[in-house]
Amino acid sequence: MLKAYVIGPYTAPTSYEVDQNIQRAKVVAAKLWGLGYAVFCPHMNSAHFSGAAPNENFLKGDLEWLAHADIAVILEGFEKSKGSLDEIEFCKVHRIKIFYDQYDCIWEYLTNYVENPDCCII
């Protein structure tokens, strides 16, 4: 089973916006599970854990999970999130395939990729 990791903004100025970020990530994670990927969604893993540990602990822990991913799917708004940008850079360094959720065509591609990763050139 291929492993997918969801990258996108979590923190926001208001709790409502944090909830919206979590919800967007949750929707993408559910789509990926439906396609047959094993998914790690950090938004869901530590939802509303603010103050439970230093933010750096969450960011470092997320990279531990990301290191095992075959692909990463990036949500809209990533460019405003330092954590997301760090995760994208990590993917580039570790040659983890990156897909951007804002392009609808990725879902058909990811369906084919999970069925036969050797057939698809990225």
Instruction: Extract the tokens encoding 73.
Output: 């799917």
Question: Which residue segments constitute the domains of the chain, with CATH numbers given?
Answer: 3-119 (3.40.50.10400)
How far apart are the C-alpha atoms of 36 and 31, rounded to whole Å? 9
How far apart are the C-alpha atoms of 122 and 115, rounded to whole Å? 15
pLDDT confidence of residue 122: 45
pLDDT confidence of residue 58: 73
Per-residue model confidence as pLDDT tens for the chain (122 residues): 899 999 999 888 998 998 999 999 999 999 999 999 999 999 877 766 677 768 787 788 788 899 999 999 999 888 888 889 999 999 999 999 998 876 556 677 677 666 665 555 44
Could you tell me how far CA 95 lies from the centroid of its own chain? 15
Predicted TM-score of the model (pTM):
0.84
